[in-house]
Amino acid sequence: MTRSTVNLPHSRRPRPGRRMPTSIVIVISLWALGGAALLSSVLLPLFLNSKTLTLAAVQQNQSWPNQSYRQAGTPSSTKLAFASLPGFTRSTVQRTYALITPESHVYQRNPLVDDGSTAHLISPAMGANFAMYYVRLGSQGRLSSPKDVGIERFVICLDGRVRVKASAGAGAEETDSVVEVGGFSYMPANASYVIQNDMKHKNDIDKTVLLVFERENKILGVNAGYRFGEIDEQPILPSSPEVFTLRKLMPDTPEYDFNIHVMDFRPGEHLQVKEVHYNQHGLLMVSGGGVYRLGDDWYPVTAGDVIWMAPFVPQWYGALGGETTRYILYKDTTVDPVLGA
């Protein structure tokens, strides 16, 4: 048995008899006690409440905080890991799917837009049977109806507020309706209208932001009218064997050839069906995150991400993390699988 000894340098040897003065010990103890009291009585409950309120609201099917839509419509507020790496993007465009992430958005002038710009995320140029894009409108911003006949539109307000205006004419329906954050509007093919910003923005950076879906209407001649609503006011529909919360923003009736689904998953919930189907999808992650399977690939996804899914691409989603996932999903619903979309 040995008894090891270590020779400490003189300066590091404990100096017997030198203690911290009692007054300093008392001051430090009081300061630590005060900090702990503040943390447990004020800051901790605030933090916990802010985390649990969102989840509780969804669980009880109460209204979804509008801030979530703003986050999805304002890429600069979406925090991305690796965002500062030069040339790095999570975006990828494949033959049967595309993942478009916020750092890839490119806004440009659009002949149908005054005082504003658009960023196309999905379009027929990549093989889709629809277009999905953002519109950013300044104080004088306006988006006109499509010039080509036969294009129908669906708009969701992600930030700000717009008015959809159309005057009555030969067979034309009159409308003057306000669409606020979390609100939506369907505009039938062949309708002539204008969507104008209804906000006075204080600076050049703030904009009203819309998410737009557009497609060629395949069932022209059937009398589809304008539709307006609020996402959270739509009834929750049965979705068994699925466990997610499902809302549909369009009626399942023959006048409409697509639908927009809103789906909420609590962390840990996932699609029960590993889907492969004829219909196409355009998806915007509004909040939360998880893993999306697209074909043979698996991607981490988060708020602000957009996905195109071509016909028959294998698809599956699992929600992870601490926040409830909400995504908005275009689906062509009444297309004939033999005659095509």
The pair phi, psi for residue 296, each rounded to 5°, is -95, 10
329 binds, options ligand UGY, Mn ion, none, Cβ within 5 to 8 A by partner type: ligand UGY
| Dihedral-angle region of residue 62 (phi above 0 means left; psi in -120 to 50 means alpha; beta otherwise) | beta
The answer to whether 315 contacts ligand UGY (rule: CB under 6 A) is: yes
Binding test (CB under 6 A) with ligand UGY, winner from 142, 281, 293, 326: 281
Q: Name the DSSP class of 224.
A: P
Q: Is 329 in the site for ligand UGY (CB under 6 A)?
A: yes
Pick from ligand UGY, Mn ion, none: which does 130 bind, CB < 5 to 8 A by kind?
none
**Binder to ligand UGY among 331, 332, 335, 341 (CB under 6 A)?**
331
Cα–Cα nearest to 136, from 66, 195, 215, 189? 195
275 binds ligand UGY (CB under 6 A): yes
Q: Say which entry of Mn ion, ligand UGY, none residue 100 contacts (CB below 5 to 8 A, set by partner kind).
A: none
Number of amino acids touching Mn ion (CB under 5 A):
1
Q: Which two tokens stand for residue 131?
A: 């277009």
Q: How many residues does the chain have?
A: 341
Helix (H) or strand (E) holding 58: helix 44-59
Instruction: Please state the φ and ψ torsions of residue 165, each to the nearest 5 degrees.
Output: -125, 135
Instruction: Out of 96, 201, 275, 318, point to the residue binding Mn ion (CB under 5 A).
Output: 275
Is 96 one of the binding residues for ligand UGY (CB under 6 A)?
A: no
CA distance 298 to 242: 21
Give the footprint of ligand UGY on residues 7-66 (CB under 6 A).
none
Nearest to 303 by CA among 282, 317, 323: 323
Q: Is 207 or 331 the residue whose CB approaches ligand UGY more closely?
A: 331
Where do contacts with ligand UGY occur on this chain (CB under 6 A)?
Answer: 261, 263, 271, 275, 281, 315, 317, 329, 331
Where do contacts with Mn ion occur on this chain (CB under 5 A)?
Answer: 275
